[in-house]
Amino acid sequence: MKRPVAVVGVGQTHHASRRSDLSIPGLVREAVDRALADAGLDYGDIDAVVMGKAPDQLEGVMQPEQFLAGALGAHLKPLIRVHTAGSVGASTALAAVTHVASGLFERVLTVAWEKQSEGNAMWALSPNLPFTPPLVAGAGGFFAPYCRAYMTRTGCPPHIGPLVAANARANAARNEYAHLREPMTVEDVLQSPVLWDPIRYLETCPSSDGACALVVASEEQAKKGPRKPAWVKAGYSYAEAMWVPGRDQVSPQAGRLCARKVYEKAGIRNPWKEIQTVEMYVPFAWFEPMWLENLDFCDTGEGWKIVERGEQKMGAHLPVNPSGGVLCTNPIGASGMLRLGEAALQVMERAGEHQVEGVKNALGHAYGGGAQYFAMWLVSDAL
């Protein structure tokens, strides 16, 4: 980056399966108002707006950036939209960071959202494309074979997914904004029906309405703010072709490259020792051990052992998704930005009841499409 950038404001909505009290503009406005208030700023202080959401067909609203310009305070200001499927929230935040790091702008508002109750993502993600095998039903139908492949490759036992799901719910119970906060046990998960082998109902993310907004600023502006900022030490996005022979869809190469580039830029030599918490994109419980390996927190075949030993729980060595993560809150377009925003809150020491003690460095991670898009950043409490 050409110059330092920091997160100075974080805002998110209360998430639910249906926010019938708000329109789409009202939903994004709820998150934006909270982010600006958090930063001690107003709409007039913002130089540009970067927004993102998942595919238009999820809600049937084409080019929403056009009718949302007013609600976002973007009238007569630069406004762009980013789209990288499920990782879009993280990619959008990184685009905003680039706007500031390049020297173009001093303070940029970035927002991502999804109102799943007004669409049908399940069937929008079940296309019958010509000359390609059917993706069966929804994202779970696509990713289930790769979860099964991970189990076969590493010897991961069948209770690991339920352990991840129960822990995520315990974490979400401490997050006032989370969608699913009701406690559940490993036995509850094991008793829930299998939707796509090996993925069970309670190992699956919900459909949520919600939005997230961040304010990012230059060093000079960040130091004027009312609160401790989160410094963006490194942020990258990588992609890879989806239908390439020999592609490793259990541990995609783009994810490994993206993580290593982030660590290199941030000066992280040993992620397991130098990062205190991670918000990773886990829409199905089995992805938590898979991503622990893909993100170089451990060697191949060791991710599920971290879960089995409980080293990813609150109070343990590396709390994963202290907010509850995507397994408990999933407004698709915003889910990636929530991961980055929650990572920022951790180094700002303002994550409330799900704050992890002593966080100096936190990783925010997202993936999208057929695990072909990756976007992540590492934030720190020090410049």
Q: What pLDDT, on a 0 to 100 scale, did the predictor assign at position 115?
A: 93
In angstroms, the Cα distances linking 137 to 124, 133, 191 are 9, 12, 22
Count of beta carbons in the 10 Å neighbourhood of residue 103:
10
Find the range with the poorest average confidence among 148-157, 332-341, 368-377: 368-377
Of the candidates 341, 350, 343, 332, which has an alpha carbon nearest to the alpha carbon of residue 113? Answer: 332
> Which run of H or E residues covers position 217?
strand 209-218
- Strand-pairing partners, residue 49, are 79, 109
Band of residue 127 on the pLDDT scale cut at 50, 70, 90: low
298-329 pLDDT tens trace: 999 999 999 999 999 999 999 999 999 999 99
Q: What is d(CA 101, CA 265) in angstroms, rounded to the nearest whole number?
A: 14
163-186 pLDDT tens trace: 999 999 999 999 999 999 999 999
Q: Given a cut of 90, is residue 119 above it in pLDDT?
A: no
Find the range with the poorest average confidence among 197-206, 237-246, 292-301: 237-246
Of the candidates 24, 207, 192, which has an alpha carbon nearest to the alpha carbon of residue 125? Answer: 207
Q: What is d(CA 277, CA 272) in angstroms, rounded to the nearest whole number?
A: 9
Here the tokens at position 191 are 């008793």
Band of residue 120 on the pLDDT scale cut at 50, 70, 90: confident
Band of residue 134 on the pLDDT scale cut at 50, 70, 90: low
Here the tokens at position 221 are 């502006």
Of the candidates 172, 168, 183, 176, which has an alpha carbon nearest to the alpha carbon of residue 14? Answer: 176
Q: Given a cut of 90, is residue 45 above it in pLDDT?
A: yes
**What integer is the mean pLDDT of 372-376?**
95
Q: What pLDDT, on a 0 to 100 scale, did the predictor assign at position 375?
A: 97
Q: What pLDDT, on a 0 to 100 scale, did the predictor assign at position 129?
A: 66
Q: Quick one: what percent of the chain has pLDDT higher than 70?
A: 96
CA atoms within 13 A on the CB side of 205: 29
Q: What is d(CA 69, CA 58) in angstroms, rounded to the nearest whole number?
A: 20
Q: Given a cut of 70, is residue 135 above it in pLDDT?
A: no
Comparing 139 with 216, the larger pLDDT belongs to 216
CA max distance for the chain: 57
Q: What pLDDT, on a 0 to 100 scale, did the predictor assign at position 131?
A: 67
**What integer is the mean pLDDT of 69-91?**
93
**What integer is the mean pLDDT of 188-215?**
97
Q: What is d(CA 181, CA 169) in angstroms, rounded to the nearest whole number?
A: 6
Mean pLDDT of the chain: 94
The CA R_g of the chain, rounded to the nearest whole Å, is: 19
Of the candidates 229, 342, 238, 198, which has an alpha carbon nearest to the alpha carbon of residue 281? Answer: 342
Alpha-helix runs per DSSP H in the chain = 24-39, 64-68, 88-101, 121-124, 138-154, 160-172, 186-191, 219-222, 253-266, 271-274, 287-294, 303-308, 332-348
269-278 pLDDT tens trace: 999 999 999 9
Band of residue 233 on the pLDDT scale cut at 50, 70, 90: very high
